Amino acid sequence: MRVRITLAILAAAILCSANLQAQQPQQPSPPPAPPVEPPYTSGQSIRQNVNLVDVLFTVLNRQNKIVADLNSENFRVFDDDAPQQIRFFNRQTDMPLRVGFLLDTSNSIRDRLKFEQEAAIDFLYNVIRREKDQAFLMTVDDEPELVQGFTGDLDVLREVILKQRAGGGTALYDAVYQACQQLLKLPPSVGDPDKDLRRVLVVISDGDDNLSRHSRGQALEIAQRAGIVIYSISTSTNWILPDQEARGDLSNRKYMKDEGDKVLQQFSDESGGRAFFPYRVDDLAQSFAYIGTELRSQYSLAYVPVRPADGKFHRIRIEVNAKGLQVRARRGYFALPPERSASSASTR
């Protein structure tokens, strides 16, 4: 009898304990540990969901020679005069180039078309390296036209350049905008699809525009946002005095830049490139060879702005702590929110 009562009490206790456990709320399981990101190493691609500002720049001495042996400690960067922390820094040398040639073939440059063709070919053979770099050719008159896509065959590009003829109006800003879109497609580096590339746009024109749907600001904005460096070569000879031209004496020439020249200067200055105002193609040969070296001897730094993205244009200033040195870089960027920046890149 006592055994039956003891067993009954034990069974009731077990049942009561089970009911109490069923009524107690379940304790949440601890969250998984966050993944540990590997440290950044030089040459590694940066892929983070933060609003990084990446700036390519060149350092020159007083003789305009390239200085390529500096470190991150030598530089300070400012965003609208606010000092920034340099998050990433790299010396970039011997990078493959992707070059867009934009040739003005409108009626306004008819007398200088031969000069344009010779200048483009001279740049081609002084800067582009076979089996490593690639280039395309776009012309502009009433509208932009891609006449030769990306290729590393210099002879093909040369033949296409020599076939161009002049006529029509000038939609220069549309052409710059569309050429930047073409550069954003960026065919992969030969033999190394993950290697960084340098985007360059060479504009050979008188700088006039009378047909574009895009504004000059829009054309410049897409270049700045994509990190495209613009080198411009003016076809204008308005600065030459008639008596100088007659005597062939250009040694004491004075530059009187017209509005078109100022447009080309702005495109180059704001993107970190250079503008040239030559009379003969021979005046460009040494400059082109220098550009090839410059494009492959640059620095790269990146920072996260301390101010939130406000959609406005922000000025960038890079200072170097060594005397007699100057920095050439793009002058700013548009601070778009990450989601808007991504959508803009996908539609360009």
Q: What is the pLDDT of residue 49?
A: 37
Shared domain for 123 and 269, answered yes or no, is: yes
For residues 133-160, give the mean pLDDT.
Answer: 97
In our burial notation (b when 16+ CB lie closer than 10 A, e otherwise), range 145-183 reads: eebbebbbebeebbebbeebebeebbbbbbbbbbbbebb
Q: What is the pLDDT of residue 213?
A: 97
Shared domain for 145 and 260, answered yes or no, is: yes
Tell me whether residue 6 is in a domain: no
Tell me whether residue 3 is in a domain: no
Shared domain for 216 and 291, answered yes or no, is: yes
CA–CA gap between residue 323 and residue 339 (Å, rounded): 41
Q: Measured between alpha carbons, how far is residue 27 from residues 21, 94, 342 in Å?
A: 12, 58, 40
- CA-based Rg of the chain, rounded to a whole angstrom? 30
Tell me whether residue 128 is in a domain: yes
Q: Is the torsion defined by CA of 144, 150, 154, 156 positive or negative?
A: negative
Tell me which residue range forms the domain holding 326.
Answer: 53-93+300-347
Predicted confidence (pLDDT) per residue in 19-73, tens digit? 544 444 444 444 444 343 333 333 333 333 348 899 999 999 998 889 999 999 9
The answer to whether 204 and 117 are in contact (CB under 8 A) is: no
Hey, what are 55's tokens?
A: 């700036």
For 211-231, the DSSP string reads S-SS-HHHHHHHHHHHT-EEE
Q: What is the pLDDT of residue 240?
A: 63
Shared domain for 222 and 150, answered yes or no, is: yes
Shared domain for 82 and 227, answered yes or no, is: no
Q: What is the pLDDT of residue 308?
A: 73
Shared domain for 81 and 138, answered yes or no, is: no
For residues 173-200, give the mean pLDDT.
Answer: 81
Tell me whether residue 261 is in a domain: yes
- Looking at 295, 310, 326, the residue that finishes a domain is 295
Tell me whether residue 207 is in a domain: yes
Residues of the chain above pLDDT 70, percent: 75
Tell me whether residue 48 is in a domain: no
DSSP 173: H
Shared domain for 129 and 146, answered yes or no, is: yes
Give me the chain's average pLDDT, please: 81
Domains of the chain: total: 2
Shared domain for 206 and 341, answered yes or no, is: no
| pTM of the full structure | 0.76
Predicted confidence (pLDDT) per residue in 2-11, tens digit? 445 444 444 5
Banded pLDDT at 238 (limits 50, 70, 90): confident
Q: What is the pLDDT of residue 200?
A: 95
Q: Which of 176-180, 268-272, 288-292 has the highest mean pLDDT?
A: 176-180
Whether 155 has a pLDDT exceeding 60, the answer reads: yes
Tell me whether residue 220 is in a domain: yes
For residues 130-149, give the mean pLDDT.
Answer: 95
For residues 227-235, give the mean pLDDT.
Answer: 94
The residues that bridge with 276 in the sheet, in sequence order, are 233
Shared domain for 306 and 334, answered yes or no, is: yes
CATH number at residue 290: 3.40.50.410
Tell me whether residue 315 is in a domain: yes
Hey, what are 163's tokens?
A: 């076939």
Shared domain for 127 and 151, answered yes or no, is: yes
Shared domain for 110 and 171, answered yes or no, is: yes
Banded pLDDT at 217 (limits 50, 70, 90): very high
Q: Which of 21-30, 75-84, 298-307 has the highest mean pLDDT?
A: 75-84
Shared domain for 76 and 155, answered yes or no, is: no
Whether 157 has a pLDDT exceeding 90, the answer reads: yes
Q: What is the pLDDT of residue 33?
A: 42
For residues 269-277, give the mean pLDDT.
Answer: 92
Q: What is the pLDDT of residue 193?
A: 52
For residues 130-141, give the mean pLDDT.
Answer: 94
